[in-house]
A = this chain, B = another copy of it.
Amino acid sequence: MTLLTYQRALEKEIERTTYGEQPIELYEPIRYLMALGGKRIRPALTLIGASLWTDQWESFLKPALAVEVFHNFTLMHDDIMDEAPLRRGQPTVHQKWNTNTAILSGDVMLVAAYDLLTDVPDAVFKTAVQRFNRTAAEVCEGQQLDMNFAKLDSVTVEEYIDMIRLKTSVLLGFALELGGILVQAPTHDIQALYSIGISMGLGFQLRDDVLDVYGDPEKFGKQVGGDILENKKTWLMIQALQKGRNTPYGVELEKWLATNNQSNEKVQAVTTIFTELGIKDLAEAQIDAYFASARESIAQLNVLEERKKPLLDLVDMLHQRDK
């Protein structure tokens, strides 16, 4: 089974899914956002997780979709808070409609995620909801920390990692774990799935930070250098500030951070500082470490090796992605 098989099944399920009809202002934005696409990595993780033990993964499309609907709910509300005009190249919901619609439609979307989650076997339903609740709260905590960091003068690497763990990784961890919960896998394997997802999530987010600076503009969906222009305290920036302290690099970096300069000159200058301080190599090494950790945990899973292929392929794909 390849990732594409899961993705195609998920797209079909998304097309089939209705969230409600009236009033249209409430449900149209949900359909709009869900139809904007994306790689469907999170629900694929649920199906891939279940596939470690069963061939009947198609019976878990709805709970897998719960994870994707939840993820898109967070995008709808985060885009309001971040005042983002575009999402996947299209107008965000609060831009296309208005803020009130994005708030209320998002609320109904969170409820819809819980509703899709009811389609799990009774024996594991409460566990699934409890884990989902914990994850959902943590994702909100991560978003709040991210907003807080934007107002802080300095953030440590540890604080940054903790923030992206909450904002991004716990949902990948839960998505994969849910696959194990659905097939009632042994507890230690379920815990391992969560750890694998966390490592993948941290590697995934760090890869995002690197691509935002070093990505190929032809391939990367967002504006390369966007984080630099926003003075965003990404992993790269935090490390550069630390490594560059008491050096001319640090002085120059602080100078750029103090400006609201939106020029390509700033992007190029900051990128050069990152590179000369060895930050790109440091980030690549850290990304390698996270994905290596994921592979080690996969090696420990007590299932047939041949069943691990889709998960290992996904790890490789996320590790090497350039867009």
Residue positions of A touching B, CB distance < 8 A:
20, 22-23, 25-26, 77, 80-81, 100, 103-104, 106-108, 110-112, 114-115, 118, 122, 125-126, 129-130, 133, 136-137, 140-141, 143-145, 147-148
Complex: chain B residue closest to A115, CB-CB: B133
How many Å from the CB of A129 to the closest CB on chain B? 6
| CB pair B140 A100 closer than 8 Å | no
| CB pair A108 B137 closer than 8 Å | yes
A137 CB contacts on chain B under 8 angstroms: 20, 108, 111-112, 115
| CB pair B129 A118 closer than 8 Å | yes
| CB pair A141 B107 closer than 8 Å | no
Distance between Cα atoms of A77 and B144 in the complex (Å): 17
A23 CB contacts on chain B under 8 angstroms: 141, 144-145, 148
| CB pair B112 A144 closer than 8 Å | no
| CB pair A141 B20 closer than 8 Å | yes
| CB pair A118 B133 closer than 8 Å | yes
Distance between Cα atoms of A129 and B81 in the complex (Å): 29
Distance between Cα atoms of A16 and B316 in the complex (Å): 47
How many Å from the CB of A190 to the closest CB on chain B? 18
Distance between Cα atoms of A4 and B70 in the complex (Å): 39
A107 CB contacts on chain B under 8 angstroms: 77, 106-107, 110, 140
Complex: chain B residue closest to A112, CB-CB: B137
| CB pair B100 A81 closer than 8 Å | yes
Contact among B111, B115, B118, B133 for A140, CB-based, below 8 A = B111
| CB pair A122 B126 closer than 8 Å | yes
Contact among B106, B126, B144 for A125, CB-based, below 8 A = B126
How many Å from the CB of A244 to the closest CB on chain B? 28
Complex: chain B residue closest to A148, CB-CB: B23
| CB pair B136 A126 closer than 8 Å | no
Distance between Cα atoms of A85 and B26 in the complex (Å): 25
Looking at A25, A111, A130, A147, the one whose CB has the most chain B CB atoms below 10 A away is: A111
